[in-house]
A and B are shown apart, each in its own frame.
Chain A
Amino acid sequence: MNSVADLSGNLTVAILDVKGKSLIQRSYRDDVPPSYIERFLPLVLEMEEENVQVTPCFSDEGINYMHIRHNNLYLLALSKRNSNAAEIIFFLHRLCSVLTEYFKELEEESIRDNFVIIYELLDEMMDFGFPQTTESKILQEYITQESHKLEVQARPPMAVTNAVSWRSEGIRYRKNEVFLDVVESINLLVNASGNVIRSEILGAVKMKCYLTGMPELRLGLNDKVMFEATGRGARGKSFEMEDVKFHQCVRLSRFENDRTISFIPPDGEFELMSYRLSTPVKPLVYVEASVENHRGSRVEYMVKVRGQFKRKSTANNVEIFVPVPDDADSPKFRTSVGSVVYAPEKSAFVWKIKQLGGGRDYTMRAHFGLPSVRNDEIDKRAPISVNFEIPYFTVSGIQVRYLKIVEKSGYQAHPWVRYLARNGDDYILRTITDAKSSSIIAPL
């Protein structure tokens, strides 16, 4: 015995409103008194008051509090043991997404309105502290909003316990189709001098499957490792996946052996795989801003944007967020392309360009008034962030070579493939420079 780790121990799960009041709770083991749920928020507030970092897991008087936040809600799990924190936190996220799929929006009201079904779900998703079925598609087959007053009682779908726990038998479509979306999100950080200091590509292959029966699918990519293994290194462009994550339907050991991605897909929409590459990426949409800050009277911006990708491509729905001081007012904008709006709630203005061609650049100017009372506080130096989408384009060079679909009834099905490159949630440029000197604005 080398450890006293408990394998389970998630004993009570609760959803709390923003005031820390329990909206719904379910105890899976009887050892944690429910009164501890109400202690959660006071503890958090106390920690905040004492300037102690509030972390997702903490312990107080022998009770472990593990929580995540969603909108204005806390999803909380309590345990008295050395529980598997990763499992529980991940479970709470799953719970959150299942409930979101059931009710569209997970919020106080949807919980109050649907408490019966939430109890049912909580009962089915976890037993005695062990997570069970968390696939919302499968859950929806036997836990539905319409009650079963009808003569036919729901039965557990085979999928709950099948080796293929994500797909039910007997699915039928008149037209068998598969849609593949390869989406690459680019995260990068550009420093004040315009150099990329961090970049990564987060790729995802999303599928929409409308297939009859229990089809076997095999996906072929231009995977470098496989190309090399099969001696095809020289031919064609290949790309190297650094870290791949698969949907649970993919046979991991098969992939480990011969890099084949084979699976029986769930029905409908799902994310088949995701991958990450940390190859250097140049900023596809490059933005820089120079600022002239006349404290106490006005501040002026000149923003330049450049599409740094192939001429034949176009970036759609480009949105550039440039931060301005909190107290800026009376905005004036001048631009040759797109539109600009002031978003005071974000302390920024947004320059929207419907279509930005590759290799093109544009400029805009903004002018804001500043209150004459000097704001002595330090400038919050938020960086510029950008949203964009470039269709028919991937940064990594990933290509879907084939998607084989085999089903015993032998029907023909057509895969459709699309590619999209877009910003990730961390596409950040620190390229706001002071107009007068070339140094960063307001060196504190």
Chain B
Amino acid sequence: MAMAPPRKGENYELRQQLNSEYREKRADAIKRVIANHTIGKDCSGLFPDVVKNMQTDDLEQKKLVYLYLMNYAKTQPELVILAVNTFVKDTADPNPLVRALAIRTMSILRAEKILDYLASPLSRCLKDDNPYVRKTAALCVAKVFDLKSELCVEYGFVETLRDLIGDGNPMVVANAVAALADIYEASLNLPDTPPTSPGRSSPPPSSKPNPELFIIDPPTLTKLLVALNECSEWGRIAILNTLARYKALDEKESEHICERVMPQFQHVNAAVVLGAVKVIMIHMKAVTREDLIKSLTRKMAPPLVTLISSPPEVQWVALRNINLLLQKRPGILANEMRVFFCKYNDPPYVKVEKLDIMVRLASEKNVDTLLGELKEYASEVDVDFVRKAVRAVGQVAIKIDEAAERCVGVLMELIETRVSYVVQEAVIVIKDIFRKYPHSYEGIIPTLCANLEELDEPEAKASLIWIIGEYAEKIENADELLGTFLESFKEESYPVQLQTLTAIVKLFLKKPDESQTIVQKVLQAATKDCDSADVRDRAYIYWRLLSSDPAAAKSVVLAVRPPISLPQTTVAPAILEELLAEVSSLASVYHKPAATFIGKGRLGAEEMQRRALEPEEENAREKALQTVVAGQQAENLLDFDADDEPQPSSAGGSQSLSMLGKGGISSSTISNVAKSTNPLDELMDLFSTASMTTPATQPVAPKSTVSGIQGLQDDRQDTNTTHDAFAGLTGLGSPPQGLGDGNGVTSPVQSQGQGQQSGGAQDDLLGLF
């Protein structure tokens, strides 16, 4: 050795003890080494001394030495060889516990040298008499595959593993199934073996096992279904996962699987229950027998409800999954809304999920109870939760027409409390109610306006301004009210500025005589003093419109917009299907496809994702095109009837993801999918059509803007100057104007959310998938 180890310090002392002649002293020293490791001290220097103690009858000591090896083998690859002998010997120990321990540890050491010695003990252990050793060895195959897949292929371990599915012991079956699935997963990411070129004599060793090994045939299926009832809870999860992957031959077989899996609903382990739900959701797709589908969905409800009495973290996982299930099958829990009532001491993350589900389950039948409950929540102390409760009242109003009036009543009661954040949230929500039911609840406007001073949040302000603008003709002092916002125009945030601008233009178009000056002022302020390009551009557009053709301006700015609706799903249909196939996984909990949060380290995951979704992509594009066509027709008629409005794109997404989207889940790869949108931005329909048709209007729009700006440069104050460019715009007729309005008036309301992505963007995302 080049340098003698220091003769002082703890390590020196430990080394002395590890080499002591007394057994107790050595055992004690090993414990101290592990203790040091536990608190994060580096103990790699003691490697040879610890390994010397590997050969012992004391099982506890052996375990500790193994533990040490597991942690430090990597750091001392050339010394690991010292341990090989004992390892190999231990795999033939008379005690099965020792055999299993040895093979388990040996296969996880990341050291080439060890792996070479592993093959024969592993094949022995896979055929061990003792099931404990076999079940341990089964998983070792997956470990070895992870480290060196060629080895598994060379020695036919995967084949052996497959034979173990027929093992008499359910634990062994379960672990074999789990290991196979793991290897299958990993083998998908391996590069294909390069085809042997004729010039080369010996092909390189294959690292990819025969894919046929992973195909589950009907006899295997039978074995799995039998083992399912016999093995431990964790084994059941592994088997259920594999059943989820199984492609049934025909409907009969699907029915059979469903029937056999159903009893698992009664298991105490929540993961088993969710695993069973997953299998049934997948195989139920092939089932056409009405009575069976009915009985399956009926039986699914009680276990799901019972999950709500689990510990909060389990509950949360269950709730996230229930949320997905309800998007696919809204009926399953139709009568169970009460169980989702929030408990006083539920953790906030549970409460939020429950709220969302309650809104999903809201119906004409239970809406009164729900509103009573929401009102109760609105008086709790957790500000965030209170806001969400108020928001939920609004969502219920939009969802259930018959209940809208009652909801408005509740909101008015809440506004009377004068608690600042409650009032602000209520105002925001009421704006949406107006968007759904225009001209229905004008009576409440005075009350809203009375709370003008209470509002200090941009979104609430913008909402109230929007309401004032919409109903400017009915509000006597609209100009006064809007005037107050104009005074502080420069200090306001951009969304508020945009709304102020639009509302005043609306006011002008409705009551031109009284508001000449105010409109001049706002256009001036927006074009001169504002540094947001959005605000400035919109002001220019209005200015030009008003100056060139007020009639056109009127039909643009005051056009009737289609009512908003509450989307039934928060993710695109294709993604929903994918997520449902993964119930209980992280993807289903995040409501995001796996590729959005894993990857990086795992090559090919993204490609796989894309490939898997290609057929859907086609589908989505087609749908988008249909939407465009339908939308154009609708606009040509200038007749926005809610019932005729095509809604395919409403699935584009919104709400509920918001929590997670914001929640620090970095969606690095396909971040857009997850980009949270404002829960209130359900207004997908019009936007998708608008942005999808933009290309048609493009030749006109940019030109007009450009020339508009030029015009302003030419003669700043002279608003009467008409530019030729506008002839194009005015001459276009109604359809594009409707579009312009869609983009110009309502989108600011939308852009209050973080994701300025409007429905159009969402549609593009659909296309992405």
Contacts and interface: CB of A to CB of B under 8 A. Distances in A.
Interface of A: 1-8, 22-24, 29-31, 43, 46-47, 50-62, 64, 66-69, 79-87, 89-93, 115-116, 119-120, 123, 127-128, 130-134, 142, 147-149, 151, 153-156, 160-163, 165, 189, 191, 197-198, 200, 202, 242-248, 251-253, 255-256, 274, 276, 278, 378, 380-383, 426, 428, 430, 443-444
B38 A252 contact: no
A91 B232 CA distance: 13
Given A54-B349, A93-B311, A153-B98, A59 B666 contact: yes
B157 to A, nearest CB: 14
Interface in B61-110: 63-64, 67, 74, 95-98, 100, 104, 108, 110
Interface in B108-159: 108, 110, 130-132, 135-136, 139, 142-143, 146
A253 B266 CA distance: 10
Nearest to A163: B230
Contacts of A443: 379, 417
Contacts of A2: 578, 581, 612
B348 interface: yes
A260 to B, nearest CB: 13
28 contacts: A2-B578, A3-B244, A4-B605, A7-B241, A8-B182, A30-B74, A30-B110, A47-B663, A59-B665, A60-B666, A62-B598, A62-B599, A62-B666, A81-B598, A83-B585, A84-B584, A85-B317, A86-B270, A90-B269, A116-B31, A116-B60, A132-B234, A154-B59, A243-B306, A274-B306, A378-B419, A380-B381, A444-B419
A1 B612 contact: yes
B247 to A, nearest CB: 9
Interface string B167-210: 00111100100100110010010000000000000000000000
A152 B96 CA distance: 13
Identify whether the interface residues of B are mostly helix, strand, loop, or mixed.
Answer: helix
A82 B598 contact: yes
Given A59-B666, A84-B237, A93-B311, A6 B35 contact: no
B349 A56 contact: yes
B348 A53 contact: yes
A115 B171 contact: no
Given A3-B578, A115-B34, A246 B344 contact: no
Contacts of A202: 309
A82 B60 contact: no
B58 A130 contact: no
Contacts, number: 319
Nearest to A80: B601
Given A5-B582, A248-B267, A119 B612 contact: no
Nearest to B40: A22
A5 B313 CA distance: 21
Interface residues of B, number: 129
B608 to A, nearest CB: 6
Contact of A161 (B27, B171, B338, B612): B171
Contacts of B317: 56-57, 85-86, 89
Interface of B: 27, 31, 34-35, 38, 40, 57-60, 63-64, 67, 74, 95-98, 100, 104, 108, 110, 130-132, 135-136, 139, 142-143, 146, 169-172, 175, 178, 181-182, 185, 188, 229-234, 237-238, 241-242, 244-245, 260, 262-264, 266-271, 274-275, 302-303, 305-306, 309, 311-314, 316-318, 321, 336, 338-339, 341, 343-344, 348-349, 352, 369, 372-373, 376, 379-381, 384, 417-419, 422, 578, 581-582, 584-590, 594-595, 597-602, 605, 608-609, 612, 659-660, 662-666, 668
A188 B78 CA distance: 65
Contact of B598 (A53, A67, A80): A80
B582 A60 contact: no
A197 B372 CA distance: 10
Contact of B96 (A31, A79, A155, A430): A155
Given A62-B668, A90-B314, A165 B302 contact: no
Contacts of A47: 663-664
B172 A161 contact: yes
B578 A444 contact: no
Contact of A87 (B146, B237, B338, B605): B237
B598 to A, nearest CB: 6
A205 to B, nearest CB: 12
Contact of A64 (B376, B584, B586): B586
B712 to A, nearest CB: 41
A382 B376 CA distance: 11
B605 A130 contact: no
